[in-house]
Amino acid sequence: MSVRDDAKLNLELAGLFNKDSDYEGMIGHAVMKLVNTHLDEGHSGFSHELTLHIFNKVIKGQALTAKYWDYKKAEMEKFAEENMGEPWKPELIKEIIGERP
């Protein structure tokens, strides 16, 4: 069975295409679009793992570089100062933008 077929079967067995699932089955279709795009790019082996690792960080807003991390932390600190009246807790910063590379 191919990676594409495995992914589809996995999503089907989890009920993620079902109309009575979260978001009426749209999650299964959205994940399959991501799977298809990734596989259509021709990724396998190391490029497959590296692409997924970087994609997961980027989509979560986590820093790939110290420069980006510093930028996002400064942005968060400004928001906290203007809106919250107290700074972010360090563990929350880590959860949102990851560890500083």
Tokens of 38: 């990734």
pTM of structure: 0.74
- Asked whether the beta carbons of 64 and 101 are under 8 A apart, the reply is yes
| Gap between the Cα atoms of 51 and 24, Å rounded | 29
pLDDT in tens, the chain (101 residues): 888 999 999 999 999 999 999 899 999 999 999 999 999 998 878 998 999 999 999 999 899 999 999 999 999 999 999 999 999 999 999 999 989 99
Q: Tell me if 90 sits within 8 A of 98, measured CB to CB.
A: no
pLDDT single digits (tens) 68-87: 999 999 999 999 999 999 99
Domain boundaries, the chain: 3-59, 66-97
pLDDT at position 1, please? 81
